[in-house]
Structure formats: structure tokens, C-alpha cells
Amino acid sequence: MSNHETTEVPGGAKAVDPTDPNLTYREVLDEGLRRDEIEIVHYEPQFPVPGTKAEKRVERLVAFLLLLCGLAAIAFVVIYVSPLGQPKEYHFGTTAQDWFTPLLGFTLGLSLFAIGMAILVYGKKLLPHEIAIQQRHNDPSSPEDRALAAGTLGFIGSEFNIQRRPLIKGALGLGGLGLGAAAVAVPVGMLLKDPHKGPDDTDPYMTTGWNAQVFNDGKPVRMVLEDNTYVRPEDISTGGQITVFPGLPGGIGVTNEFADSPVLLIHLRDEDAQTLRDNLYKYPVNAEDGGSMWNNFVAYSKICTHAGCPASLYEQQTNRLLCPCHQSQFLITDNARPIFGPAARRLPMLAIGVDDEGYLFARRDFDVSVGPAYWERPSK
């Protein structure tokens, strides 16, 4: 007991001033217990004699788990920043890139599992066994009670006895370091590697499968159907529409890798096409020029500018394109202007043409980015 003032209280226990800085954690704890009418009915240290072989064994196990946590977390960081890169689509396989995502999950999972086990083993095997009984209190806590609570927490901290367990202390430092590094890896990773850089240093938000330079060796990208057959103008009757994809080598243009590239190709009636042609020159906001049509054919991104659903319910009498997710409607003859629902931007237009062999192709990639607006792109 430290040297401080005590007061005799009913029941024989000594009341102490919990704000006395000379009190030990244990003394503050005892005062708190007394005031809160808590009775400790069982208290038993797990290792009454410190430094036994059994205690050291448990310490080594905890230290091992903490080090495992740190190593796994560091492995996560190394894999995350490795040149393997994030694959666009997960394939089960044996190449290094196939292992990228599973290894990230495994290492981070192992790290969290290890620190969880370390805490569990420490609590179960090193902390004293204690059973306490407390009466319920309804009133708010007084400043004194808060001081007692702080003292109690201090006592719990001191019970961990980390000071006299240097192995666990060191392992905890290393493990925490690794786990901390894993926690900051993702935000820092964005600073190390520009997320706006795609293949050939292109901006992935502005590059779709219609980019001939990046994906087709500079050759114009033809339109294909889902079965990879090329599309001719005569394949679509007047007033009709079909979904087309970039015709890339190996048929990859119809895969998930180019999920931002589907386009709705529409064959307008003469008068509707003329209305659109007139409006294109007035509002060329979703294509760089007003000449992006081919005859009465026009192509718009199928990715809704609200939240990215496929907008493909085309009503040919009114020339409205409806997105089924939240009912946005785009008026095709007014250059895909949103006229109803939550979408705020026009659908991006794809400039199209017909090549010497009579197949439809994209003259260039979209002039504006496809899909929903985001903070770095104006909603026009």
C-alpha cells in the first residue's frame, strides 16, 4: 500500500481518494470495486510463480502468432505492390497473375487470424482467472467514478505484464508494424501506382475495347454480335436495334474484360435520323463532332450514366431508351438526352462507319468516358 490518506468506512474497508496520484492501479481498483459494490469471489493467477517453463512456452506461442501476423501482413504488402498487378478477371490457373488475388486474400486472412489467436491465447493462458459479482447501477457516473474507471483500466493494462515479457513485447511491435503496413498499403498503393493508368499508359476511364491503338494493333475495330460475327447495316431493319461489342482478336471483346464497351446500334427511320442529325450539331457534348452517325445508323454506349446498368429497352415509336434499373429514359433523337429518371448525363456516342467490305466499325473510341459520373468528371 502506498502512503496516502484513508478514511474508515462502514464494513471496515478503508476508503481512499481515487484522484491521489500516489495510488497504485491495484489500490484504485479496490476502491472502485468497493464503491461499485463489486465482490471478487475468485482470483487466481495462471502462473503464481513467474518465469516457469510453462509460462515461457505460452509466451513463445503468443510471440510466434504475433510474428506470424506481422510476416503475413508484410507478405500482403509485397504482393500488393508487386508487378503482378490486379488481373481484370479471375481465372483459376497456375500463372503468377492467377495467384495474385488468392494470395492477397490468404496473407491478409492469415495475418488477422494470427493476431486474433494471439489475443485469445494471451487472454486464456496468461491473464489471471477472476470471477466478480456486481450490483446494477442506474445513475450517471460522477467525475470520481470516471477516475476510478480509468484506474481500473490502468490496472487491467498492468495485469497484462507486457513489461516483463520482452519476447511478446518485441513480437507485438513487429506484428503491429506489419499489420499497420497492410492497413495503409491500399491508400498508399494508389499514390505509388496511378490507378488512372491502363495499358500503354492510357487512362482506363477513357479507354474501352473500341480503342484500336491499344487493343487492335491500330486496325479499326469492327462491331460484332455476341457470337463474334461481324455486323452489316442490312442486319438491322429500320427502327430496329441490336447490342454490339468490339470485334477484337480472339473474340475477347465480348468478355467481361470489356464490360464497359457494349454499344446499342440503332437503325433510325429517315425523319428521326434527320432530327438527330440536327440536334447533334446543337448539342455535341457526348461526341467530339456532329458526324458520328453513319447514314441512319447511330451507336450509343449501353452503360447507363446513372449507375451503370445496361440500358437497352428501346421504344422505337418514341425513340426513347429506357434503363430498367431506375427507369431513366434517354431520348435518342435528342442525342440521348436524359429526359426522365435519375441519370444526369447523355449516353456517350460512338462514332461509326462502314468499311470497304461492308462491315460496321468504330471510327475511334468514345470521346467521353462511359458509365456513371464520378467526382473527377463533369456530369455533362
* Smallest separation, CB 377 to ligand FES (Å): 16
* Smallest separation, CB 304 to ligand FES (Å): 3
- Side-chain half-sphere exposure of 163, counting CA atoms within 13 A: 3
* Smallest separation, CB 338 to ligand FES (Å): 9
Pick 258 or 330: Cβ nearer ligand FES? 330
Pick 100 or 330: Cβ nearer ligand FES? 330
Pick 54 or 344: Cβ nearer ligand FES? 344
* Smallest separation, CB 198 to ligand FES (Å): 24
Pick 198 or 342: Cβ nearer ligand FES? 342
Neighbours of 339 (CB within 10 A): 12
Pick 167 or 309: Cβ nearer ligand FES? 309
Pick 306 or 337: Cβ nearer ligand FES? 306
* Smallest separation, CB 320 to ligand FES (Å): 13
Alpha carbon distance 287, 56 (integer Å): 71
* Smallest separation, CB 301 to ligand FES (Å): 12
Pick 252 or 307: Cβ nearer ligand FES? 307
CA terminus-to-terminus distance, the chain: 74
Neighbours of 24 (CB within 10 A): 15
Cell of 11: 464494513
Closest CA to 215 of 177, 242, 248: 248
Closest CA to 157 of 19, 14, 28: 28
Amino acid at 70: G
| CA dihedral sign, ordered 17, 22, 25, 30 | negative
The DSSP annotation for 164-209 comes to G-HHHHHHHHHHHHHHHHHHHHHHHHHHHS-TT--GGG--GGG--T
Closest CA to 40 of 48, 30, 49: 30
* Binding footprint of ligand FES on the chain (CB under 6 A): 304, 306-307, 309, 311, 323, 325-326, 328, 341-343
* Smallest separation, CB 324 to ligand FES (Å): 8
The DSSP annotation for 59-96 comes to HHHHHHHHHHHHHHHHHHHHHHHSTT---SS---SSSH
* Smallest separation, CB 305 to ligand FES (Å): 8
Pick 253 or 338: Cβ nearer ligand FES? 338
CA 68 to chain centre: 25
Alpha carbon distance 238, 241 (integer Å): 9
